Each structure stands twice: as structure tokens, then as C-alpha cells.
Chains A and B, each alone.
Chain A
Amino acid sequence: MRVSTWLVWGAVAFFLVNLFGLVLAVVVNSFSVEWFGTWWPNGLTTSWYVTAWRELDLLEVLVVTVQVALAVVVLSVLIGVPTAYALARRTFPGKRLVTVLFLLPILLPPMTYGIPLATVLYKFDLAGGIAGVIIANLVPSVPFVVLTMTPFIEQIDPKIEAAARMCGARTSAVFTRVLAPLLVPGILAASILVLVRTVGMFELTFLTAGPGSQTLVVSLYEAMFSAGIRAQQAVDAMAVIYTGSMLVLLVVALRFVNPTQLVTRLKEPA
């Protein structure tokens, strides 16, 4: 093999080894009785997970997280898919403007529009509760569904809809019998990606959540930020739970989408 190839794979290996060490350090710490300054902790225990579960109200946080994530997925699909259909099938004056409007919330980092958004939500008394968290998380999710579904719908030949009409199908039948089954893979892929993004979304939830409406990421951050009060091991236990659930979601997601589709256009899974 060529030298440059060795160098590249060597660099990848170095990155991965350190990444593995980094994750392992957190996992080991979350199971350690006490660990300071040595190669290995002086005893292993699962008690920090119990502590995290009790003291950090993990159950409540998990319930909130699931509620928020599911609501965001369902609502963003309901709002986003019809928009994507219209954008994929029609040209109209101002289409570029509409497209840019849907592109901006994805391109702009949440911090820039999150601060004004949270201000507005507080003004209308919507922030501080679970509704506010859902609304804030919908802002990037709806455009995300629109932008991933538009190319997906574009690659469904409009002639197929025409063919269904020529077979005598009315609009409702075209939708339920032909379009919906063809859209399912795309909607599934978009949903799972929105789910992953929402569970991982820190900034918008952080800016709009109040006590009792924090998702896992945010309460994790709060736990670490106030690290003086909590044992680091309990925070690590919580972080392991978070990463574990994200990993499960990602593995599920990768069953439906190709890894490159996590960030680009979606196609029907082969």
C-alpha cells in the first residue's frame, strides 16, 4: 500500500483510538466507586445510575424527552410533507423566496434565531413549558422535513400520479393508494432524522425550557454545569444513558437511511 494511504488510515486510527478512550473514560467513571489520578478506579459499582435515576429525576426527564420528540416528529411531518409536495410539483412566482425561507432555519445556527424566538415565546407566555419547547424545536424540524422530502417527492415520477388518474382514481384515491405508499420510506427516514436531531437539540430547548420541561440533553447540561453539587460519576452515568439512547436511535436510523443521507437528500432505501 502507498505511504499516503497508510498515513490517512493511521490518522483515522489515531482519531478513533482517542475517541474510544474518551468514551471509555466516561463509561468507566460512571461505574467507578472513586477514581482520581490512577490508571483504573479502585472499585466498580452501579450505584451512580441509581443516584442519577433518583436525584436527577431521570424518569420524568425521559418522559418529557419522548413527549417532545414524538410531538415534534408528528407535527413537522404533518406540516412539512404537504409543503414539500407543493414545492416538488409546482413552479410559482416567489418559489425561490419560499425555498430560502425554509433553508434559513437549517443553515442558521439555533443560537442566532433562538434568542429572539425565546424572547417572542416568553412575550406570548409560551416559553417555560413543554409547549414552548415543542414549538421551538419545530422551527428547524419543519424546514428539515420540507428540504429532505422535496427531492424525495421530485424523484417520484409525476406520470405515476397521472397514470393513477387515467385508471380512474380520484384525488383521495391517488393519495391513499399511490402517493402515500410511495412516500412512506421518505417520511420514515425524515422522521427518524428529526427524532435524532430533536433529542440532541440543546440550544433551542435550553433557551425555552423551564423546570419540568427539560429534555435529557438540557438536564444533563444543567447537572454538569452545577457539577460542584453533584458527584461527577452521577453526571457521567446520565451522559452514558443519553449517549446510549442516541446510539440506539442512530442504529435504528441507519437501518432506514444510508449514512450519507443523514446530511443530504434522501432516497428510497435499497
Chain B
Amino acid sequence: MAERGVDRVLWLLVPGVVFVVALFAYPVLYGLQLSFQPEEGGGVLANYERFFADPYLRDTIWITLRLAVPAALINVLASIPIAYRMRGRFRGKRLLTTILVVPITLGTVLTAEGLINYLGPVGWFNKILMGIGLTDEPVRLVHNYWGVLFSLIITGFPFAFLLILSYLSGIDPTLEQAAATLGADRRRRFRYITLPLLAPGLAITFCLTFVLAFSVFPSAYLVGLPQGETRVISIAAYESAFRDTDYPLGSAIAMIMAVVMLVVVGLVLLWRSTLYRGATGGKG
């Protein structure tokens, strides 16, 4: 009776928890057990054995990592200096932020169409390169590895930038001022004050952009070489499940995909756990 107030409020959890259990946890567990029931017979692990035995399937892991790791690194590393200069207030900050965020609205298809039109062999970019004499024949930038990488950068950068900007705004600027009064120059203020405080945020940002990039799907079809150097793991999973209607194999590949991501994210978070993660003095 004494705690009745508490119990009543907890009822509010019910719809949300039921929803997430029924439509997220259950399907994932269902997919997991389905992956242990191979269509074509064999042992419980037959789907997984097949994945790792067949280079056409197995190599999708490396192909995807080769795209996702550089894309995530570029997005995070490029965001740091830009966001660092965009702390505080200045005229046009909102406009510049908005412009940097616009790629969110582009969507995969317009980005893909744009890459094909703009970076293609007869696109403006190659015309300019040839016009100023940097190259004699068009550089191949789409329908291969580079097309997908560019697509990942265009769609992933705004995301990484916004996250890092908000982490940076959460660091109290007087800490850098304090370091300045103690004789630290600009470079050392960044190196010894801002960067250590920002590092946990960078780890999280890297994880999120990596996960986004690792699950790349439509652009690998549209601007990549979907049966060749950009046959990413999502394509393998999708084609198994819905083109070949081998749901168990498709589920198994989805599970492998999740595991690879969890391993990378786990490694990054393990590194993060060695960092200072307390208050950063700001309002955030």
C-alpha cells in the first residue's frame, strides 16, 4: 500500500515494453533460431558453415569493413576541426549548420543519381579535371568502391558532425581559458584539454557512423558494383532471404552482420572505458 503511487506509474511502461518485445526482441530471437534450421538440411550450424566456407559470402565481411571503417573514420575526423571552429556563437552559424545538415534530406537515390551525373565519366567533375589538365581521361568514380564510399560520406557526415558539435558544446569553454592562463597554446589546449574530454564522444560517434556505414544497402546497388567489389553483407543477406527465399540463411547472415558490428563497437567501447568519462563542465 505504501508504494502504490510507484506501481501505478509503472503501468505506463506496459505498451512500450510489450511493443518492443513483440516487434523487436521476438523477431530477432525468431531469426536467430531460424538461422539454426537450414533449408538444405545439415547440422544446426550449417548456415554459418556455408557462409564461412563460400568465399562469395564470406568476403562480404571484408568488403563491407573496407567501406565502413574508412567512411566512419573520415566522417569523424573531418567533423572534429569543423565542429571545433563552430563552437560558440557567430553570425551565420545557424545557416552554416543547416547547410552542413542538408545532405540528410538528399536520400540515397538523389545522392546516387547525383554521383552518377556529377562524378560520372562525362559529368562536370571529370570535365573540370580534364579542363585544368589534371587528367587526360575521365577518372572512374562511380559504379565501383569510390562511388559507395562517397555516398557513405555524404550521408554519414552530417550525422557525425551534429553529434560531435553537440559533444563539443557540452565542454565548458572556461576550461580552455583556464589552460590558456596556465600557458597552454592553442594546439596544446586542444591536445590536453579538449581532446581528452571529447574522446568518449568521439568513440560513440564513430560507433554510430560505423554501424550506419556497415549496413550500407541501396547505394551499394546504385553506385557500386553489387556483384563485385561492393557486394556488401546487406546485399548477401537480402538476396539470400528474399531473392532466393532462403530465410534461414538470410537470418544467419543478418546475425553475422550484427555480431561483426557488435565486435567492432565492443572494441571501441572497451577503449572508451579506459578514458575519463565524468562531467565535462558544460550544460549538456
A→B interface (CB under 8 Å): 4-5, 8-9, 11-12, 15-16, 18-19, 21-26, 29, 36-37, 39, 78-80, 82-83, 85-87, 89-90, 92, 98, 101-102, 104-105, 107-113, 115-120, 135, 138-139, 142-143, 146, 196, 200, 202-203, 206-207, 217, 220-221, 224-225, 232, 235-236, 239-240, 242-243, 246-247, 249-250, 254, 259-265
Check: B282 CB closer than 8 A to any chain A CB. no
Minimum distance in angstroms from B179 CB to a CB of chain A: 18
A224 to B127, CA, bound (A): 25
Kindly provide the distance from the CB of B39 to the nearest chain A CB, expressed in whole angstroms: 13
Q: Knowing A26-B117, A243-B110 are in contact, say whether A262-B238 is a contact too (CB < 8 A).
A: no
In the bound complex, what is the Cα–Cα distance between A232 and B109 (angstroms)?
A: 12
Give complex CA distance A240, B241 in Å.
32
Q: How far is the CA of A180 from the CA of B99 in the complex (A)?
A: 34
> Which residues of chain A are within 8 angstroms of B27 by Cβ–Cβ distance?
113, 116-117, 119-120
| Cα distance A200–B103 in the bound complex, in angstroms | 12
A97 nearest in chain B by CB position? B17
- Pick the residue among A22, A110, A135, A259 that contacts B111 (CB under 8 A): A22
Tell me whether B15 and A37 are in contact (CB under 8 A): no
Whether the pair A116, B30 counts as a contact (CB closer than 8 A) is: yes
With contact pairs A86-B13, A116-B28, A262-B101 given, residues A101 and B82 touching in the complex (Cβ less than 8 Å): no
| Nearest-Cβ distance from residue A247 to partner chain B, whole angstroms | 5
Chain B residues with CB under 8 A of A225: 221-222
Say yes or no for B211: interface residue by CB 8 A criterion.
yes
B237 and A83 contacting across the interface, CB-CB below 8 Å: no
Interface of A (DSSP majority class): helix
- Report the minimal beta-carbon distance from B75 to chain A, rounded to whole angstroms: 11
B224 interface hit (Cβ, 8 Å) = no
Q: Which of A8, A119, A220, A263 contacts B107 (CB 8 A)?
A: A220
Q: How far is the CA of A113 from the CA of B11 in the complex (A)?
A: 27
What residue in chain A is nearest B108 (Cβ atoms)?
A202
Cβ–Cβ contact A98 & B13, under 8 A:
yes
Interface centre among B78, B102, B208 (most CB of A within 10 A): B102
Query: Residues of B with Cβ closer than 8 Å to A?
Result: 6, 9-13, 15-17, 19-21, 23-28, 30-32, 34, 78, 81-82, 85, 94, 97-115, 117-119, 122-125, 127, 154, 157, 159, 162-163, 165-166, 169, 207-208, 211-212, 214-215, 217-218, 221-222, 234, 237-238, 241-242, 247, 250-251, 254-255, 257-258, 261, 265, 284
Q: Closest 7 CB pairs between A and B?
A: A116-B31, A83-B16, A109-B215, A22-B114, A246-B105, A82-B12, A25-B117
Assembly CA distance A221 to B110 (angstroms): 9
Which residues on A sit within 8 Å (CB–CB) of B20? 101-102, 105, 139, 142-143
A85 CA / B76 CA spacing, docked (Å): 33
In the complex, chain B residues whose CB is within 8 Å of the CB of A21: 118, 124-125
Contacts of A79 in B (CB 8 A): 15-16, 19
Partner of B9, one of A4, A90, A101, A196: A90
Q: B81 to chain A: closest CB distance in Å?
A: 5
Interface core residue of A9, A25, A102, A242 (most chain B CB under 10 Å) = A25
The answer to whether residues A135 and B23 also contact, given A12-B82, A236-B113, A243-B105 and a CB cut-off of 8 A, is: yes
Q: Chain A residues near B125 (CB, 8 Å)?
A: 18, 21
Q: Which of A16, A26, A117, A207 contacts B110 (CB 8 A)?
A: A26
Pick the contact of A25 from B118, B154, B163 — CB < 8 Å? Answer: B118
Q: Considering the chains assembled together, what is the distance between the CA atoms of A185 and B108 in angstroms?
A: 30
Residue of A nearest to B160 (CB): A263
Chain A residues near B165 (CB-CB < 8 A): 259-260
Q: What's the minimum C-beta distance from B210 to chain A, rounded to whole angstroms?
A: 10
Is the beta-carbon distance between B16 and A80 smaller than 8 angstroms?
yes
- Once A11-B78, A115-B254 are accepted as A-B contacts, the answer to whether A203 and B114 lie under 8 Å apart by CB is no
Name A239's contact: one of B9, B78, B107, B254 (CB within 8 Å). Answer: B107
- Contacts A21-B118, A113-B28 given; indicate if A242 touches B13 (C-beta within 8 A): no
Q: Are A19 and B103 in contact (CB under 8 A)?
A: yes
